[in-house]
């Protein structure tokens, strides 16, 4: 990358983007908002299955490619984010704000019965499709409907 345009503690700036280093000066994350960092953890592969809850980091890379940002256990793809479990390195949630995540929990079935109190997760998926966001035990659909499991 050459000489950084700014250094603030463990963050090296390159234009509007930055690289975050640990105490041993190894990269632990970045924010490539200007798409000017020469960074890669792998390309998006064509024809791969979408990722879902429990998918591995490699599944996410195969489905999405290199993230725009890595901040702790959160991988950003533009304004969307994928949340990873730090110990198991598996997907535990997402927020698909940019509508660009290749994520899938199941299709919405137009003829499915409406869900109600006591419905199963699968019944909600049949009625609503894949949630826009999964945060902890809460599911959101288009930012307006929230289910807590």
pLDDT of residue 142: 83
Burial class (CB in 10 A: 0-12, 13-18, 19+), 99: exposed
pLDDT of residue 145: 62
pLDDT of residue 131: 95
Provide the whole-model pTM.
0.88
CA–CA dist 122, 124 (Å, integer): 5
One pLDDT digit (tens) per residue for the chain, 149 residues: 888 888 899 999 999 999 999 999 999 999 999 999 999 999 999 999 999 999 999 999 999 999 999 999 999 999 999 999 999 999 999 999 999 999 999 999 999 999 999 999 999 999 999 999 999 888 999 866 666 65
DSSP code string of 27-72: EEEEE-TTS-----S-PPPTTPPPB-TT-BHHHHHHHH-S-SEEET
CA–CA dist 118, 79 (Å, integer): 33
């Amino acid at each position: 990358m050459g000489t950084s345009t700014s250094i603030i503690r463990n963050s090296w700036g390159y234009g509007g983007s930055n690289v975050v280093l640990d105490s041993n000066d190894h990269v632990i994350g970045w924010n490539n908002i200007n798409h000017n960092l020469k960074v890669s953890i792998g390309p998006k592969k064509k024809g791969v299955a979408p990722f879902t809850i429990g998918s591995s980091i490699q599944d996410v890379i195969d489905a999405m490619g290199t993230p725009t940002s890595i901040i702790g256990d959160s991988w950003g793809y533009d304004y969307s984010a994928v949340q990873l479990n730090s110990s198991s390195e598996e997907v535990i949630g997402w927020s698909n704000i940019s509508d660009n995540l290749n994520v899938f929990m199941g299709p919405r079935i137009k003829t499915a019965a409406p869900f109600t109190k006591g419905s199963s997760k699968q019944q909600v998926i049949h009625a609503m499709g894949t949630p826009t966001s999964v945060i902890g035990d809460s599911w959101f659909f288009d930012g307006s409907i929230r289910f807590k499991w």
